[in-house]
Structure 1
Amino acid sequence: MDLSYIINEYAEGRENYFNAVAPPIIQTSNFAFKTVDALRKSFEDEYSTYLYSRGLNPTVDMLRKKLAALDGAEDCLVFNSGAAAIFASVLANVKSGSHIISVKNPYTWAKKLFEIILPKFGVTHTYVDGTDTENFANAITPNTAIIYLESPNSFTYELQDLQAIAALAKQHYIVTIIDNSYCTPIYQKPITLGIDLALQSATKYISGHSDVVAGVLSGSKAMIERIFNSEYNTIGSGIQPFNAWLLLRGLRTLPMRLERITNTTKTVIAYLEQHPLVEEVLFPLSPNFPQYELARQQMTGGCGLLTFTIKANTIQQIETFCDNLQHILMAVSWGGYESLIIPKCAGLPQASFNAEDKSHRMLRLYVGLEDADYIIKDLDQAFKIINL
């Protein structure tokens, strides 16, 4: 299916909505029925009809169909956060006594799910270095139910060989789940590589405006329907129609935003790599990245998230650099119009800082839609302050 068709036309049903160019917001909680029999059939199969907007809603359905098509999946669900998509996808595929294999250092709320919530119900986990597929093979037990991936991850960008891991998992009837937030379905399609469930934070590039929190989960129709009829509706974590409409609006400009961000990121990386106060720049599609060849195989682009290590002897130098940025905002997340930065040391007590630990000197930079020169000038003036 053509990308332009998916974004601009697919699933919109304009003839049903007065031929409106912009899709409508069906802001209703409830749907009415003319006969008892029609209501009865909706109770029996809520996945196929509109009954209550906690489940299906026409505005949300337009978005679901577009996002599934972008992923190359049969179907998808849209949640009110990426964390909710993680929760539902994992919960739907474990039972008491199950075992999960996860890449080490997954997203914070996946980590809390594995370490705090699921152990209450007898579900165990093993973290592995995902850069070597053999580590997954060695960690499999008879009760392994899920292999959980995040490729690239969101700070140091380690990759997993998705095709190899998918093949391994299928041999052992294990469900594979990946957080694909870094690439979006535009730049990486895990479903086509054999992964069972692909999720992403739509808060980021899909929205593109930093005004919506949402998550997407794509997979086979059978799997998505099973999750809809259980975890999705029971938890009540579906997205609201107005937020779905905002994401539909964000989709219109997704390809051109990613193209601009990608091009600007290349210029910013070139600046950082030659700066005397930068020790290292991490970006999956840089030729000096350790897994560059795998990145080229799996990804068609890298968007705007990179990490650089600053040459600093004290935590105060890093804080001074960040505190003096005038236009790059200090905040979590990424994918919006605005450039963002977050220093790794913000998650450390000041007394724990160790300049010899390179990770303590890392800063994650998201390159937004500003001109490259605008971003570079801001970085440059902050570097000069700590270089006095």
Structure 2
Amino acid sequence: MNDLSYILNELGEDREQYFRAISPPIMQTSNFAFKKVEELRKVFEDEFSTYLYSRGLNPTVDILRQKLAALDEAEDCLVFNSGASAIFASVFSNVQSGDHIVSVKSPYTWAQKMFDNILPRFGVTTTYIDGTHIENFERAILPNTKIIYLESPNSWDFALQDLRAVADLARAENIITICDNSYCTPLYQKPVAMGIDMVLQSATKYIGGHSDVVAGVLTGTRQMMKKIFDNELLNMGNGITPFNAWLLIRGLRTLPIRLERISNSTTKVVNYLKKHPLVEEVIFPFDPSFPQINLAKKQMGGACGLFTMVMKAEKMQQIVTFCESLRHILMAVSWGGHESLAIPRCASILPENFDAGNRAHKMIRFYVGLEDPEYLIADIEQAFAKAR
């Protein structure tokens, strides 16, 4: 993007309005005052038009909204207090009783809980499919299908969907498309440019970059964002706070250089693991062995720092020992911060149910942070030595 530096460093920032400060102020206010009753009346009629109460619009949040919308090449943006909130609002705002959703299988945990536990209470059903083949979408669509929900790549096996093909199919059927773009960020994938209606991401991850803020982003047309703002966002009160918005603005400043560093380090760690005798497989979208490598290269500009290792293990204890022996790579959920992480899939499996023949049971998801790759490789090597 030719104007990336402008978006990250200048867009939305009117420094003449706040004493020419380089860093924008945090407008830590709950509400805003008016001098005229008529002005107040107009805002009551359309709270999306200006500042009334920081549950809705806020100047610091607006700076962030402008930047994130521009990065996604979308008309507008809403920022929520978590990625789960962004998911819920985007889906809930576009279904009613009797509607049907087509979703890729094994989406983010809280997306699946919404599909399985909450929406059925309102008469909304969901069909899960293998999204790697467009034919599966075609077969799953029903007359009452209103949403196709995508996650490309998925955050464990990194299955991709052909975003342009799905968008074309959905548009022909008058179906809304939503894509979780948390893995790639707007710098490495632009679903809106490929025809997707709404794009969401967990800003907790790369956008924040420091593991100190939880937030979610939703972008799309201004009409759609206003529809969600007027209903789901204001009613549920799940917008982001001004301080957290300021932290995300700070995170955006260094996003390109962080992603470049993380991507370079990830390649080195992946190449090391592929040669290790205790590694059965490494799953990474930009690795030549990845089954959808051509699609990955076509619609993604990079693959950042998340990948999965399948460990050669006959017993769960080998995986447990390996993970618990890591000294510098932390065992934790999420990704996108400065610190490297690992999480074993077997943490959600009871020991008696572990199956060494089940590839998924032997998965360990890694996130490569900003540490030196040699430092991380040494940590992995000593943990392998204890897990033999």
TM-score, scaled relative to structure 1: 0.99
Give the aligned residue type for 1:237: N
- 2:203 alignment counterpart: 202
Counterpart position of 1:262: 263
Distance 1:311 1:124 in 2: 39
Quote how far apart the aligned CAs of 1:258 are: 0.2
- Which amino acid counterpart does residue 242 of structure 2 have in structure 1? P
- SS of 2:310 mapped into structure 1: strand
Distance 1:230 1:16 in 2: 31
Q: In the TM superposition, what is the alpha-carbon distance from 1:386 to its structure 2 partner?
A: 1.5
The equivalent residue for 2:385 is: 384
* Distance in structure 2 (CA, Å) of the matches to 1:21 and 1:197: 32
TM alignment of 1:247-258, pairs within 5 A? 247-258=248-259
Please give the secondary structure, in 1, of the residue aligned with 2:383.
helix
Unmatched runs of 5 consecutive residues or more in structure 1? none
Deviation (angstroms), 1:93? 0.5
2:81 matched to which residue of 1?
A: 80
What's the CA shift string for 1:170-211, capped at 9, x where partnerless? Answer: 001000001000000000000000000000000000000000
Offset, 1:115: 0.3
Between the aligned partners of 1:385 and 1:118, the Cα distance in structure 2 is 46
Q: Aligned partners of 1:137 and 1:29: how far apart in 2? A: 47
For the residues of structure 2 that align with 1:13 and 1:229, how far apart are their CA atoms?
27
Shift of 1:358: 1.0
Aligned: 1:44 with 2:36: no
Q: Give the distance between the partners of 1:228 and 1:31, measured in 2 at CA.
A: 18
Please give the alpha-carbon distance, in whole angstroms, between the structure 2 residues aligned to 1:358 and 1:142. Answer: 37
- Could you tell me which residue of structure 1 aligns to residue 31 of structure 2? 30
Q: Which residue of 2 aligns with 1:323?
A: 324
1:243-272 per-residue CA deviation (whole Å, 9 max, x = no partner) reads 000000000000000000000000001100
Name the SS of the counterpart of 1:68 in structure 2: helix
Deviations 1:355-387 (A, max 9, x none): 010110010000000000000000000001112
Alignment of 1:350 with 2:351, yes or no, is yes
Q: Which residue number corresponds to residue 93 of structure 1?
A: 94
Superposed structure 1 runs of 4+ greater than 2 Å apart: none
Q: Which runs of 5+ in 2 are unaligned?
A: none
Q: Which residue of 1 aligns with 2:20?
A: 19
Output the amino acid matched with 1:291.
Answer: Q
Instruction: Quote the residue 1:289 is aligned against.
Output: 290
Structure 1 residue 37 displacement after superposition = 0.4
Q: 2:150 matched to 1:149?
A: yes
**AA in 2 matched with 1:299:** M
1:212 aligns with 2:213: yes
Match of 2:183?
Answer: 182
Looking at structure 1, the residues matched to 351 and 59 of structure 2 have their Cα atoms a distance apart, in angstroms, of 50
Q: Which residue of 1 aligns with 2:120?
A: 119
Q: CA deviation at 1:300?
A: 0.4
The alignment covers a number of residue pairs equal to 387
2:302 matched to 1:301?
yes
**How far, CA to CA, are the matches of 1:179 and 1:199 in structure 2?**
5
Structure 2: which amino acid aligns with 1:62?
I
Return the offset for 1:48.
1.0
Kindly provide the CA deviation profile for residues 285-335 of structure 1, in whole angstroms up to 9, marking residues without a partner as x: 111100000000000000000001110110001000000000000000000
Residue of structure 2 equivalent to 1:159: 160
| Cα distance between partner residues in 1 of 2:359 and 2:307 | 15
Cα offset for 1:43? 0.6
Instruction: Report the Cα distance in structure 2 between the residues aligned to 1:106 and 1:229, rounded to whole angstroms.
Output: 27
Equivalent-residue separation in structure 2 for 1:322 and 1:49 (angstroms): 50
Q: C-alpha distance in 1, partners of 2:359/2:238?
A: 39
SS at 2:27's partner residue? Answer: coil
Q: What's the C-alpha RMSD, in Å, of the aligned pairs?
A: 0.5
TM-score (norm 2): 0.99
